[in-house]
Amino acid sequence: MHPFPHVYRVGATAEVAGSVQLTSPGLVTIPSAGPAEFDGPGDLWSPETLLTAALVDCFVLSFRAVARASRLEWLRLECAATGTLDRIEKVTQFTAFTVHAVLEVPRGTDLEKARKALEKSEQVCLISHSLKGSKHLEIEIRER
């Protein structure tokens, strides 16, 4: 890992109408637009979906690191995240985030160890630490 601080550069370009083009050096350009809830087209990534995606992506990457460090064998992790946007005291903000994680492990795996790895992943996720809305983790572990 590189020493801190880490700096991430992202640019946005837009015209009067149409999508916003999100760029970052060395990465593929991502078109975005307002979500349908804000009268956007609803067919492109929006700031709201990108923020929620960042949370679930960070959780999965954190789990990979935690599982590797704890020598937990696993087969597949499938996660779904929900971000709830609300208006509180005239301020629109995310008030809650839920990550539903379904972890598949080989038969005979220590299920408590697997549960603890998922819980630790939430605790070390830097995106989760950066959000002020409440966070909730729902865990499902399946043996295969």
Per residue in 28-80, pLDDT (tens digit) is: 999 999 999 999 999 999 999 999 999 999 999 999 999 999 999 999 999 99
Characterize the bridge pairing of strands 134-143 and 91-105: parallel
Is domain 47-143 classified as CATH 3.40.50.970? no
Tokens 């992202």, residue located = 10
Helix (H) or strand (E) holding 11: strand 11-13
What pTM, to 2 d.p., does this model score?
Answer: 0.93
- Locate 13 and state its tokens: 């370009």
Determine the pLDDT at residue 4. Answer: 96
Model pLDDT for residues 119-141, shown as the tens digit of each residue: 999 999 999 999 999 999 999 99
Model pLDDT for residues 7-22, shown as the tens digit of each residue: 999 999 999 999 999 9
Determine the pLDDT at residue 51. Answer: 97
Q: Is the pLDDT of residue 1 over 90?
A: no
The residues facing 22 across adjacent strands are 12, 30
